[in-house]
A and B are shown apart, each in its own frame.
Chain A
């Protein structure tokens, strides 16, 4: 069974600064995806970024980038130039790619507060 660990329950960052959210996972699979989802106070789950394990290049989406260390099974999210709208819960998720039966396993989440 896969596990996803987010060991920091809460973090705070000053507006315009950079923050890194940590995530580790455990798996014996070789073909998988990793995700970061954002859940703002509205409760809507929003995909922030996706990384395919076979790709060595770290994924980037505007101010969001990941540091994917496959051997260490680590998948951290870096948010640059933090904005007030980044205040949310962030969930790391893992999915072995098994076609139609693919399922996500989520970490427990981290609450990020961006201070003005």
Chain B
């Protein structure tokens, strides 16, 4: 049981390059999330998917796109990277039962855009 996995763990991009961050969970969760973490800002929600086939914007969606490929996988794409997107990115998935709600996080991807 691997939980939530993310690839890659580290990435350096030049301004204008594109890339996709991959996320997969093996816990049969319906909901999945993408966050970014910046110093002094906590975690901010980029996009989320409440179920397979649906996605919605979070607090900071500009410059990103997502795909919920199937129940297990939720990818985040940067079409034209900018230095402001330098951050640590976390994927998470969640149980939905009342009384035991918990988000499980992947190990994070540190992205640097130069």
Contact = CB atoms under 8 A, between A and B. Distances in A.
Interface residues of A, number: 24
Interface residues on B, range: 20 to 34
Nearest to A104: B103
Interface in A40-85: 42-45, 47, 50, 52
A97 B42 contact: no
B70 interface: no
Contacts of B102: 47, 50
B107 A43 contact: yes
A107 B43 CA distance: 8
B90 A45 contact: yes
22 contacts: A9-B40, A33-B101, A43-B88, A43-B108, A44-B107, A44-B108, A45-B43, A45-B92, A47-B102, A91-B42, A91-B43, A100-B50, A100-B51, A100-B96, A102-B94, A102-B96, A103-B58, A104-B43, A104-B45, A106-B44, A108-B41, A109-B42
Nearest to B44: A106
B90 A97 contact: no
Interface of B: 30-31, 33, 40-45, 48, 50-51, 56, 58, 88, 90, 92, 94, 96, 98-99, 101-103, 105, 107-108
Interface of A: 4, 9, 33, 42-45, 47, 50, 52, 91, 95, 97, 99-109
With a 10 A CB-CB cut-off, give which of A44, A45, A100, A102 has the most chain B CB atoms.
A45
Contacts of B101: 33, 50, 95, 97, 102
Q: Which 7 A-B pairs have the closest CB atoms?
A: A45-B105, A100-B50, A106-B42, A108-B42, A106-B43, A43-B108, A101-B50
A16 to B, nearest CB: 29
Contacts of A44: 105, 107-108
A85 to B, nearest CB: 18
B13 to A, nearest CB: 20
